[in-house]
Amino acid sequence: MKCRQCGHINEEGARFCEKCGQPLIEESRPIKPKKKHHFKWLIPFLLILIVAVGGGIALVMTRSPQSKDYTMLLDEADRYLVGMEYAQAEASYLEAIQIDKKQTMPYERLTELYLTQEDYPKAQEILQRALSNVEDESTFNETYTYVRYMNEEILADNGQVHQGKYDASYAYQNEIPTTSYVEDVKGLMTSDIRDYDKDGQTELLAVSLDESGSTLTLVLTMYEYQEDSVVLSDQQRLGTVLGGDDAEQVGLYLKDVNGTPYIYGFIEKEMNFASQGTQANHFVFTYDGSQFVSYLEMSTTEPFIADENAVASFEQAAALLENIGLYASASQTYDTAGQTFGIVQADGADETLLTIQGKRANQDVGYTTGISLEACGKVQYRLVVYMETPEKTAEALYQPVLDAYHHALSSQEASINPLILNEQTTGLLAGEKPEDLFYHLLDIDENGVEELFIAKSDGTIVDVWTYDGVDLRSLELQGQLLSDKSIRCQTAENRYTFYTLADDGYEICTKRELKAEDGSYYSRENSSQWMSIGQTDYESQLSDEQCLSVQWTSIVNDYVAKTQAPTYNKADILNELEALETQTEEMTSSAMSTIEMISTSKEATELWEAEMNQIITLLKQSMNETQSAAFDHEQAEWEIEKEEIASEASSEYEGGSLSGVALSSARLEETRKRTYELYNRLQ
C-alpha cells in the first residue's frame, strides 16, 4: 500500500507507514447518482405548451441542471474540507471542474487543500490547469510562481521534511550521555502564502530544517514575488530542534491582528542528563516588506531566579503579548513571573504551522554516574506539520481505545487498568473496577478533531485522548494545554460538574460542582465541603458561555449495540438503487399530462423516501444517542433545504401550469440525491 504522505510502498494491510508513521487509508470514491435524465419527457410537452401560448413561457427552460450540479458539488466539497475529509473534498472539487472548468473557486480550494497537505506537485498541477482554463489568470499567477519555485528550487535543492515519528540516540560527551540530533532529515517543513507586509501582494513564508554540522536548526525564510520570479528577502534562525535534549516541545503559529500577521511560538528543551533544567526561546515576529521585525524575543531557564530585573522583563513581555491578543499567555506570564512562561496554541492562534513533541522513551531511568547508553534509551519525537484526520469518523478513530476499555470492564480481573495504551495515572482509584464507563467526543481545542473523554457514572473524567495528526495520544502524554474552556457535565437532576483542563497537561483537570436542592444553591471545588451560594451566582456559573456541555454514552451498551447490529451487503443496496433508477425512468416517461407528471413524481419520491429510510435505519445502528440526535437534526435541516429548492424551482413559473410539475420534480431529484449521499456513508 502506497503512503499518500511520503510515497513509501508498505505491505498490504499495514495501518501506518513504516517510513513516516502516517496512517494508511484505502481510498474509495463515493458512489454518485447516475446522471439519468428522468425528466426528458418534459421537453416535448414544453414545446406543445410554447406553441399553445405563442412562446409566452419560453423562459421555462432557463434553469440549468448542470449549474445546479456544480453548485451542489461545490457545497459538498466545502463541507468535506471543513470536516477535514480531504479525499472526499478533492474528488468533489475535481468533479466540479469537469462540469465547469472556467470557474475559479474549485481551483482555489484544491490549491488550499494541497498546500495544507504539503503536496506541492499536486498544487502546481492544479494551478497549471487553472491558468489554462480560467479567464482571469492574474488570480493564480503569484501562487503558481511560488509553488513552482518550491518544487523546482527549494525541494529540488534541499528536500522535504514530512510529519511523522523520529528517533535520536544517546552518545557520551565528556562521559555524560547526550542526545544526538535526528539523522537524514532536512529541508522544507511547511509553508504559507499571504500578504505579510500589507502591500497588496502576497509573500511566501517557508519553514525549513537546516543542517548545520551535527545540529538541526529551525529557520524562517520570506520570499517576495517580482515580475513572475521569486526573490529571497530575509531569513530568521529560531533555534535547534529534533535533538540535543531529553525532552522537547516546539510550537510555531500564526495570528492576524488588525490585518498584520504575527509569527510566534517557542522552542523548549529539557536536559536531565547533561544539565538539570529547562531552556526555552520564545519569539514573536512580523515582516515589514524587507526583513523580519522582532516584536518579542526572550530566553528563559528553569530553575528561575526571580530578581527585580527579571520580573520587570516578564511584566513587559506580558504587556506585549496582551497587546496582540495572546491573553492567556500574558496572564500566565504576569502570574508566574516567567517560571512557566510559554506561548501555547490554544491562546488565540489562527493557524498552526508546526508542532514538535519529544520525550525520552525510558522515563523511569534517571541520571547516575556510569549509566549505559542502552539504559538511557532514545528520545522519540513527533513532528506535525498539518492536521489530517484519517478517512473515518472520530468514533471509529478512537475505537481501539473504546475496545480496550470494554475488554477491561468485561474481563475477569478484580480491578481495572483502563490505560492499556497509557501508563500514566488517571482518575480511577487503585483496584477500582466500575460496572461501566462512559465516553463523549468533543473538540475541546477547536482544531477540527474531536477529543475522546472517558468518565465514571458520576461524571468524573478518568481519561482524555486526542489525535495529534500522527497517532492517538493520551492527554497524560500530550504535555500541552488543550483549552482554556471548561467542560460542563450534568451528573444528576439539578447537579453539575465542571472540569477545567490543567495548565501543565499532566493533571487531567480540576473539578468544580454546582447543585440545587430544596430551593438552596451550593458550590464546591475538588470535592471539598459544599458552600452555600445565591441563585444569581448559581445561574451565572451554570450558563457560562465558556462551558461546553457533555452528554455521556455507555461504553458497555454501545459496544453491545455495535456488535449485535445486523449486517448488510452494500453491493445489494447499490443494486436496489439501480433498480429504482430504472423504475423511476419507466414511471416518469409514461406521464403525459401535468396531472400525471405531478402524480408520477410524487409516487417516485415516495419510493426513494422508503429506500432512504432503510439506509437511515442501517446508519443509525452504528450511532450512539448523541450521534443519532445530531443526525436527526441534520435530516431536519435537509428537509427544510429540499423544500426551499423545490419552492425556488416552482416560483420560476409564477403559478403557471408548470409550477406544480417543477415543485414535485425538484422534490424527487433532491430526495434521490440525498439517498445516494447517505448510501455513501454506509461502511
For cell 403525459, name the residue.
592
In sequence order, what are the beta bridge partners of 379?
168, 360
Beta 547-550 vs 486-492: how paired, if at all?
parallel
- SS3 at position 637: helix
Instruction: Report residues of the chain scoring pLDDT below 50.
Output: 25-68, 338, 340-346, 388-391, 417-427, 477-484, 502-508
**Per-residue confidence (pLDDT) for residue 269, from 0 to 100:** 85
CATH number of 63-158: 1.25.40.10
- Per residue in 404-431, pLDDT tens? 888 778 776 655 544 443 433 344 555 5
10 Å Cβ neighbour count for 119?
Answer: 17
Instruction: Find all residues with CB under 8 Å of 368, minimum gap 6, and list them.
Output: none
Rg (CA), the chain: 29
Cα distances from 253 to residues 112, 338, 494, in angstroms, run 18, 20, 41
**Per-residue confidence (pLDDT) for residue 609, from 0 to 100:** 92
- Residues 573-605 as b or e (16 or more Cβ within 10 Å = b): beeebeebbeebbebbeebeebeebbebbeebb
CB 562 within 8 A of CB 586: no
Report d(CA 613, CA 601) in Å as an integer. Answer: 18
421: its cell numbers: 495504551
Secondary structure of 246-274 as H, E, C letters: CEEEEEEEEEEECCEEEEEEEEEEEECCC
Beta strands in 102-228 (DSSP E): 164-173, 176-179, 187-194, 203-212, 215-226
471: its cell numbers: 497517532
Q: Which of 351, 454, 363 is nearest to 401 (CA)?
A: 454
Beta 451-455 vs 461-467: how paired, if at all?
antiparallel
Cα distances from 251 to residues 132, 188, 347, 426, 485, in angstroms, run 39, 16, 12, 27, 20
Helix 138-149 × helix 105-116 angle, to 10°: 20
- SS3 at position 497: strand
In sequence order, what are the beta bridge partners of 553?
439
pTM for the model: 0.59
Residue 380: CA count within 13 A, CB half-sphere? 10
Q: Which strand ranges, in their side-by-side order, compose the sheet holding 461-467?
A: 472-474, 461-467, 451-455, 438-442, 553-554
10 Å Cβ neighbour count for 499?
Answer: 25
**Per-residue confidence (pLDDT) for residue 192, from 0 to 100:** 93
Q: Which of 239, 228, 234 is nearest to 205 (CA)?
A: 234
Q: Which of 380, 386, 349 is nearest to 469 (CA)?
A: 386
Q: Which of 536, 538, 535, 479 is nearest to 512 (CA)?
A: 538
**Per-residue confidence (pLDDT) for residue 475, from 0 to 100:** 62
Report d(CA 490, CA 486) in Å as an integer. Answer: 13
DSSP characters over 483-506: -S-EEEEEEETTEEEEEEE-TTSS
Peptide bond connecting 65 to the previous residue in cis, omega within 30 degrees of 0: no
**Per-residue confidence (pLDDT) for residue 505, from 0 to 100:** 34
In sequence order, what are the beta bridge partners of 210?
217
For cell 490549491, name the residue.
111
Report d(CA 122, CA 110) in Å as an integer. Answer: 9
Please report, for the chain, the start and end positions of each structural domain, with discontinuous segments joined by +: 63-158, 159-384, 394-560, 565-683
Instruction: Find all residues with CB under 8 Å of 260, minimum gap 6, and list them.
Output: 198, 286
CB 207 within 8 A of CB 218: yes
- Per residue in 237-248, pLDDT tens? 999 999 888 888
